[in-house]
Amino acid sequence: MGIEEKLPAGILLGQVEQLVGLVRKASVWPATFGLACCAIEMMAVGGPKYDIARFGMERFSASPRQADLMIVAGRVSQKMAPVVRQVYDQMPNPKWVIAMGVCASSGGMFNNYAIVQGVDHIVPVDVYLPGCPPRPEMLLDAILKLHEQIKGEKLGAHKVTAEAEAEERALAATPTIQMTGQLR
């Protein structure tokens, strides 16, 4: 991004990370990807009752080049999957994704060959939002959770270290197939 690559790790980076996180979380512009009934609830968030503009998100972008948050609302068909990936690839970095609704998160009730069983097979998802369809309040809560993630992101050398640690934790975790209890 600029200054964080020029400075050695630990010099002024703590304060810069906090400042950049605050600025980024307050200026997230979503690219809407409404594919089914969840899109109606997503549109309601832009209305006066829920007023997403309070969070600096007053502009739903129709252009992926001007957006940094993709809200995938609804089921993703196999034919639509390449389009979702193309829109994601056209978004500038840093970028985030919210999977809105059970269909976007896991395929929902559509367990067949035509529907992708979770948008995380196509793009990396930051926040999963359950529900069929999820209420607008739930989307606002997911956006606030994403804001907390954005505010805590690391920069420069700290980011590389944090990503390596996250990868190690993921590799050391018990695979889902081996978990017992409520999951199976």
User: Which uninterrupted H or E stretch holds 99?
Assistant: strand 96-100
Domain spans in the chain, listed from the N-terminal domain onward = 26-153
Query: CB 64: neighbour CB atoms within 10 A?
Result: 18
Q: 129, 105 in Cβ contact below 8 A? A: yes
Q: What is the CATH architecture of 26-153?
A: 3-Layer(aba) Sandwich (3.40)
Compute the chain's Rg from CA coordinates: 18
Distance (Å, whole) CA 68 – CA 169: 27
Task: With cut-offs at 50, 70 and 90, classify the pLDDT of residue 184.
Answer: very low
Distance (Å, whole) CA 180 – CA 9: 41
pLDDT in tens, 83-107: 888 888 898 888 888 999 888 888 8
pLDDT in tens, 120-143: 888 888 899 888 888 989 988 998
CA torsion, points 15, 19, 22, 25, in degrees to nearest 10? -110
Here the tokens at position 122 are 């196509």
The answer, as to whether pTM is greater than 0.85, is no
